[in-house]
Amino acid sequence: MTKYSVGIDFGTLSGRALLADVSNGCEIACVTYEYPHGVMSDSCGGKKLPMDWALQDPRDYLEVIVKTVPALLEKTKVNPKDIIGIGIDFTACTPLPVYSDGTPLCFTEKWKDEPHAYVKLWKHHASQPQADRLNETAEKTGQEWLSTYGGKISSEWMIPKLMQILDECPELYSDMDYFVESGDWVVWQLTGNLFRNTCAAGYKSIWSSKDGYPSKEFFRALDARLEDATETKLSGKLAPVGTCAGGLAEKMAALTGLAEGTPVAVMNVDAHVSVPAFGITEPGHMLAIVGTSTCHMLVDREYRPVNGVCGIVEDGILPGMYGYEAGQSCVGDHFAWFVENCLPGEYRDEAKSRGISPHVLLTEKAELLKPGQSGLVALDWWNGNRSILVDTRLSGLMIGMTLATKPEEMYRALIEATAYGTREIIENYRKSGVGVSAFTASGGIPNKNPMLCQIYSDVLNMPIRVVSSTQGPALGAAIFGAVAAGKAAGGYDDIYSAGEKMGATEGKTYYPNPENARIYDKLFAEYEKLHDCFGRTDDMMKRLRAIAQENR
């Protein structure tokens, strides 16, 4: 008898439910549902929002569940009894204020017009002043955990977002019982139980299994009213990923058509859940999810401090391992910027008349170039640098242009720059004693652009495995669902065996061309010089940014 697991992936604009065969991870069906409210960045509850806000309505998450799961059952005619587990992955940090019974404050008459009552999406950046205060205080008071996060806490994370509510709407702060990740809230809605998963808590809420949250003294130093935050607004049981949060509640079973009591795993973060989804369970195997930006995940048995990472969290990716996360803040965004701002009319016309995307056209032309022949090198910092410099004030640079430089040469230079940025991250790990021995890339860009994959392979001088499945997060959630179910129910006892059986590994491997690798070694040496000069020695980019801000 075939057993199945459901993974529900909550993205930025939509959610999707995937039904997977527990024995081999094969996707049986997938149903997507767009959030009716999408991302609210202009207005919310009839109020205009200031710059840098990004909210969501938690009703949309419930809608995803009741629209996609029944459709999945309808489509596949699978017997709900054969569905042995449910997993959830979510964007993070995407928290919302709720009452002790789980009711979001924005569902109440009292708060429905208050933007702070809604979900603060991961890319809500309006908590930057709070993040700045937090970082300043942490540095001044010598917080040890700071080094675990590359020396800086992002405005996207839990505590700055909580601080912003306290600063701007203290009544709402007082009124809420919990401030929770939306993914944890969804699992709570499904099971009736509140668990904070250690992946999100570790990467986004400055929690660690060894030291818990930052101390009361630290919170007091931020604001006296925050002193007891971890015992109140941030309280709740913590559970490692793969833990079963409970069985599906009666009401949700009725709404979805799934069987009451079906085990539900605690939430995972979308990027991190992709590691076992792509069959990666061994230390030193990096997964790069290449999209508008790139997220690099890696596990290791040891904890080793590494400069400039996004976070190092015990059990954060796979239980029993330290999960290392790093990132590049601008990858696909570079290529999109180029097409939007630098694509000559004749290129645009050619792409249009041939019915291909400008990216395909530029890649066609760039593919004819040999490494190094353009004489160009760029820094991939149009959107700052996440790892390993952790500085959003850095900006772009390109060197080597001549009157003969063509658009495809600059386009290729930008692709190469992102490859050098990845190599910089890997070499930084290696210098810190964290091995990187294998590399898997996933996402739309590597699947669509073989030239990019070959460049990455040549620049890193490593084979690049590209997995063709683009359902990494949803499949990962389904895998954790199968782990929550356990072996006795037809699932798995641990994520290692589950990932091995259910992980999607189909795809293509690119091998380095030794001649190209030799040329790229030379070019990378130049990239590194620029990287260290403008990222470390000379503050020119920051001075230019300051001049720009003064004169806007």
Q: Which residues pair with 86 in a beta bridge?
A: 6, 264
Neighbour count for residue 416 (Cβ, 10 Å): 27
Calpha distance 238→200 (Å, rounded): 10
**For 388, which DSSP code?**
T
52 binds a second copy (CB under 8 A): no
CB of 397 to a second copy, least distance (A): 5
538 binds a second copy (CB under 8 A): yes
342 binds a second copy (CB under 8 A): yes
Listed ranges 181-189, 213-221, 463-471, 539-547: which one lies at the site for a second copy (CB under 8 A): 539-547
356 binds a second copy (CB under 8 A): no
Residue 130 near residue 167 (C-beta atoms within 8 A)? yes
Listed ranges 72-80, 94-102, 112-120, 404-412: which one lies at the site for a second copy (CB under 8 A): 404-412
Beta carbon nearer to a second copy, 407 or 476: 407
Beta carbon nearer to a second copy, 209 or 292: 292
Residues 487-526 that bind a second copy (CB under 8 A): 519, 522-523, 526
Beta carbon nearer to a second copy, 189 or 329: 329
Among 291, 372, 450, 486, binds a second copy (CB under 8 A): 372
Among 1, 51, 224, 403, binds a second copy (CB under 8 A): 403
Structure-token pair, residue 433: 């004693």
Residue 263 near residue 247 (C-beta atoms within 8 A)? yes
CB of 294 to a second copy, least distance (A): 15
Non-local CB neighbours of 130 within 8 Å, separated by 6+ positions: 155, 159, 160, 161, 163, 164, 167
Among 330, 434, 478, 498, binds a second copy (CB under 8 A): 330
Q: Which helix (H) or strand (E) holds 54?
A: none
Among 344, 433, 444, 463, binds a second copy (CB under 8 A): 344
Listed ranges 15-23, 33-41, 277-285, 345-353: which one lies at the site for a second copy (CB under 8 A): 345-353
Listed ranges 14-22, 111-119, 260-268, 335-343: which one lies at the site for a second copy (CB under 8 A): 335-343
Give the DSSP per-residue string, 240-258.
Answer: -TT-EEEEPPHHHHHHH-P
Task: Please give the angle made by the CA atoms of 11, 13 and 14, to the nearest 5 degrees.
Answer: 65
Calpha distance 539→542 (Å, rounded): 5
- What are phi and psi for residue 524, nearest 5 degrees? -65, -35
Beta carbon nearer to a second copy, 209 or 293: 293
Instruction: Return the amino acid letter for 338.
Output: F
100 binds a second copy (CB under 8 A): no
CB of 411 to a second copy, least distance (A): 11
Beta carbon nearer to a second copy, 146 or 414: 414
Calpha distance 95→153 (Å, rounded): 16
CB of 378 to a second copy, least distance (A): 9
Beta carbon nearer to a second copy, 431 or 529: 529
Listed ranges 114-122, 273-281, 338-346, 420-428: which one lies at the site for a second copy (CB under 8 A): 338-346
Binding-residue total with a second copy (CB under 8 A): 53
| CB neighbour class for 51 (10 Å; exposed up to 12, middle 13-18, buried from 19) | exposed
Among 151, 192, 396, 435, binds a second copy (CB under 8 A): 396
Structure-token pair, residue 203: 């990467």
Distance spanning both ends of the chain, measured CA to CA: 66
Calpha distance 442→507 (Å, rounded): 10
- CA-nearest of 257, 119, 254, 113 to 185 is 119
CB of 316 to a second copy, least distance (A): 29
**Cis peptide bond prior to 312, omega within 30° of 0:** no
68 binds a second copy (CB under 8 A): no
Non-local CB neighbours of 480 within 8 Å, separated by 6+ positions: 7, 85, 87, 89, 241, 242, 265, 268, 273, 276, 495, 498
CB of 505 to a second copy, least distance (A): 34
CB of 403 to a second copy, least distance (A): 5
CB of 9 to a second copy, least distance (A): 26
CB of 413 to a second copy, least distance (A): 11
Summarize as ranges the residues that interact with a second copy (CB under 8 A): 330, 333, 337, 340-345, 347-349, 370-377, 382-383, 395-403, 405-407, 519, 522-523, 526, 529-530, 533-534, 538, 540-541, 543-545, 547-548, 550-552
